[in-house]
A and B are shown apart, each in its own frame.
Chain A
Amino acid sequence: GDSVTQMEGPVTLSEEAFLTINCTYTATGYPSLFWYVQYPGEGLQLLLKATKADDKGSNKGFEATYRKETTSFHLEKGSVQVSDSAVYFCALTPTNAGKSTFGDGTTLTVKP
């Protein structure tokens, strides 16, 4: 079945540091890939997505590129802020828009 593997956390960075959170997946066909962010006590918010190979999703300074050759969708941000502290989930949805598969989440803490 489908699976998503995320870089284990927690991750602690200083403000303005570079962020990478690794995500790799296993799926048949051509799934869509997502990053969701969850702030404390809140639901999941869609951060960015990519629906086909080589697409780059971007939002709020975050980026991720759909790499089919390495089955990866790593999340990056050039300069993190304290307000980026949250849990980040990588997810995929199969080609037929069926059930999504989520990674285990990575907790990011950014210190001033």
Chain B
Amino acid sequence: DAMVIQNPRYQVTQFGKPVTLSCSQTLNHNVMYWYQQKSSQAPKLLFHYYDKDFNNEADTPDNFQSRRPNTSFCFLDIRSPGLGDAAMYLCATAGLAGVGAETQYFGPGTRLLVL
């Protein structure tokens, strides 16, 4: 089945130690999103890609970076995690145009714990 995969499901890191979260998709979607979600609040968009075109949200801290080496994969890098960065990180994809392009498909999320 076509899907959005996130690894790992749970990630523990130490304060200040860089960490990378990964997302892959078999939907061949052009658009990929990274969200941060705390305590069942609304997901907060960090950034997104239209193909290789990177779009950062104005209030996303510089501590958060992203890479998209190809259509299928996208990475979230947290350069120096703080205690406040503990959250669920959600990856989502969407088609660029055509029927169904308005729908985002979410992965299962990676829960990050910062010690």
Chain A residues near B (Cβ < 8 Å):
32, 34, 36, 38, 41-46, 49, 51, 87, 89, 93, 97, 99-100, 102-105, 107
Which B residues lie within 8 Å of A45 (CB)?
106
Query: Given A34-B103, A44-B90, A46-B103, do A105 and B42 touch, yes or no (CB 8 Å)?
Result: yes
Q: Is the CB of B102 within 8 A of A102?
A: no
Which B residues lie within 8 Å of A34 (CB)?
103
Task: Please tell me if B105 contacts chain A, counting CB pairs below 8 Å.
Answer: yes
Which B residues lie within 8 Å of A38 (CB)?
40
Chain B 79-115 against A: per-residue CB contact (8 Å), 1 yes, 0 no? 0000000001010101011000111111111010000
Q: Is the CB of A44 within 8 A of B41?
A: no
Q: Is the CB of A104 within 8 A of B41?
A: yes
Which B residues lie within 8 Å of A51 (CB)?
102
Which A residues lie within 8 Å of B106 (CB)?
36, 43-46
Q: Within the assembled complex, what's the spacing in Å between the Cα atoms of A38 and B96? A: 25
Q: Is the CB of B41 within 8 A of A97?
A: no
Chain B: interface size category: 20 to 34
The residue among B97, B103, B111 with the most chain A CB atoms within 10 A of its own CB is B103
Q: Is the CB of A93 within 8 A of B102?
A: yes
A99 in complex: contacting residue of B45, B103, B107, B108, CB < 8 Å: B45
Q: Within the assembled complex, what's the spacing in Å between the Cα atoms of A100 and B111? A: 22
Which A residues lie within 8 Å of B45 (CB)?
99-100
A102 in complex: contacting residue of B43, B101, B108, CB < 8 Å: B43
Which A residues lie within 8 Å of B42 (CB)?
89, 102-105
Q: Is the CB of A49 within 8 A of B103?
A: yes
Query: Given A89-B42, A105-B41, do A46 and B101 touch, yes or no (CB 8 Å)?
Result: no
Which A residues lie within 8 Å of B103 (CB)?
32, 34, 46, 49, 93
CB-nearest residue of chain B to A34: B103
Which A residues lie within 8 Å of B88 (CB)?
43
Q: Within the assembled complex, what's the spacing in Å between the Cα atoms of A100 and B107? A: 16
